[in-house]
Amino acid sequence: MVVIGGGGHGLATAYYLAKNHGIRDVAVLEKGWIGSGNTGRNTMTVRSNYLLDENAQFYEFSLKLWETLSQDLNFNVMFGQRGVLNLLHNDHQMDAASQRGNAMRLSGIDSELLDLDDLRRELPLLDLRPCQRYPVMGGLIQRRAGIIRHDAVAWGFARGASELGIDIVENCEVTAIRQAGGKVVGLDTTLGPIDCGTLAVAVAGNSGRIAAMAGFRLPVESHVLQAFVTEPIKPILDPVVTYGGAHMYICQSDKGGLVLGGDLDGYNSYAQKGNLPMAETVLTAAMQVFPAIGRLRILRYWGGLTDMSMDSTAIMGATPVQNLWITTGWCYGGFKATPASGWTLADTIANNRPPDLIRPFALDRFERGYELDETGTGPYPNRH
C-alpha cells in the first residue's frame, strides 16, 4: 500500500500499520522532505480541552499516546506538560468555559477554572488592569496539555516506521491517481509510476488537490496559517496562553523564543509563507496581554497550509473510492492529533472499517447532517 504525505499523520499511520497490524509492505511518498509541511511549521501545542464528547475522547486518546510516545518510539519528542490556559474576558466566555471545563471533567479529562488571584500567580507578566480593552476575568487551564518538539515527532515516527520495514521516499510528488473498477490501482509520481493496492492520503492543506486527482470533492478549504518566533530570552512563560479578546496564542519554546500564532489568512491560498498584516494583528494582540514583551525582536515568521473543514472537526476514514482512505480537515489543530490519527487510520485500513473512536468523523456526516460543530467552543471562544 501507499501513504501520500510524509508529515506526522502519514508517518504515524505507516508506523502503526507496521507496529500494531504487521502490515509492512508500505511506501510513504513525500513531495518534499519529511516534516516539510505543517508538521514542521506548527506551534507544537497539544491538548484535549474540547466540549463535544466525540472530539474530547479522540484528543484525550491522543494526549495519552503523547504521554508515552518518547518511550514507545525510543526517541525523545520533548513533551513538556506545562498546561494550556485560555484567558476569558466576559460573562459569556466565563459561562462557556465553565461548561466546557465541566464537560471535560465528566469525561475524565483534567480542567480547572482560574480566578484573577490564580492568574496573578500563574502569569506574573499578564496585564490584569481593568482598563484593558478586553479586561481579563478568569481562565480555564488544562494542566496535562503542553508542547512537543514538532520536528522530533516527524523524525521519531519516521525512524520507527523505517526500522519496521516501511519505505519512506522523499522528493516524490504524486501527480495522478490511476483507477479501475472504482478502485485505486496505481499512482503517477515525479519519480515514475507505482502500483498500489490500498491508498491512504494524509496531505493536510493539499487534500483537495489529491481528492480532485481521485475524482471527488471534499468539504475543506485551504488557508494559510502563520506563526512567529522571537529572539530567545530567559524563561518567562510556563503554560501556553490563548487570548480570548482577539485570536492570539503564545508560548515559550525550550530554546527560549516566544512562539506566537493567530487567525487564518481570510482567503484561500496554497502559499506556504507569512505576510506583514497578520504579523501586525498577532503582535498587537500579544501586546494587549503581555506589554512587557514589546521590545523583543521577531526572528522568523512563516506559514503552513491548513485544511479547514466546515464544522471545525476532522474528516477520517472512507471516501467515494473503495480502497482510498483519508485523514484531513484538521484545521488549526491537527498536530496534537498525530499519534491518534495514525493509530486509528491504521486500524481502519487493517480492519476495513473505522474504529468507534473515529466513526463520527466520517466524510458522509455532511450528507447525513451529523456535523460536529466545535466552532466557538474551543480555546478561542469568540472565533473558530
Ligand X SMILES: Cc1cc2nc3c(=O)[nH]c(=O)nc-3n(C[C@H](O)[C@H](O)[C@H](O)COP(=O)(O)OP(=O)(O)OC[C@H]3O[C@@H](n4cnc5c(N)ncnc54)[C@H](O)[C@@H]3O)c2cc1C
Nearest approach, Cβ of residue 287 and ligand X (Å) = 20
Nearest approach, Cβ of residue 350 and ligand X (Å) = 19
**Which DSSP string do the residues of 317-347 spell out, in sequence order?**
EE-SSTTEEEEE--TT--STTHHHHHHHHHH
Beta strand 248-252 with 240-243: parallel, antiparallel or unpaired?
antiparallel
Beta strand 240-243 with 84-88: parallel, antiparallel or unpaired?
parallel
Residue with cell 494583528: 281
| CA 13/CA 16 separation, integer angstroms | 5
Q: Applying CB under 6 A, which residues contact ligand X?
A: 4-10, 29-32, 36-39, 41-45, 173-174, 202-204, 206, 225-227, 261, 304, 306, 330, 332-336
Nearest approach, Cβ of residue 274 and ligand X (Å) = 9
Long-range contacts of 331-334 (CB under 8 A, 24+ apart): 331/306, 331/307, 331/384, 332/225, 332/264, 332/306, 332/384, 333/45, 333/378, 334/9, 334/38, 334/204, 334/307
Nearest approach, Cβ of residue 205 and ligand X (Å) = 7
Whichever of 43 and 137 has its CB closer to ligand X, that residue is 43
Nearest approach, Cβ of residue 96 and ligand X (Å) = 21
Whichever of 32 and 135 has its CB closer to ligand X, that residue is 32
Whichever of 59 and 94 has its CB closer to ligand X, that residue is 59
Cβ neighbors of 180 (< 8 A, separation 6 or more) are none
Task: Determine how many CB atoms are found less than 10 A away from the CB of residue 183.
Answer: 15
C-alpha cell at 209: 488537490
C-alpha cell at 293: 514583551
Whichever of 42 and 111 has its CB closer to ligand X, that residue is 42
Nearest approach, Cβ of residue 47 and ligand X (Å) = 8
Nearest approach, Cβ of residue 40 and ligand X (Å) = 7
Nearest approach, Cβ of residue 207 and ligand X (Å) = 8
Whichever of 261 and 354 has its CB closer to ligand X, that residue is 261
Q: Within a 13 Å sphere around the CA of 172, how many CA atoms are in the beta-carbon half? A: 21
Whichever of 207 and 323 has its CB closer to ligand X, that residue is 207
Whichever of 94 and 342 has its CB closer to ligand X, that residue is 342
Whichever of 137 and 286 has its CB closer to ligand X, that residue is 286
Residue with cell 491560498: 269
Residues 203, 208, 212, 215: is their CA dihedral positive or negative? positive
Cβ contact 176:213 at 8 Å: yes
Whichever of 23 and 44 has its CB closer to ligand X, that residue is 44
Cβ contact 100:106 at 8 Å: no
Whichever of 132 and 269 has its CB closer to ligand X, that residue is 269
SS3 286: helix
CA 107 to chain CA mean position, Å: 21
Nearest approach, Cβ of residue 112 and ligand X (Å) = 21
Nearest approach, Cβ of residue 23 and ligand X (Å) = 19
Helix (H) or strand (E) segment spanning residue 178: strand 174-180
Cβ contact 223:308 at 8 Å: yes
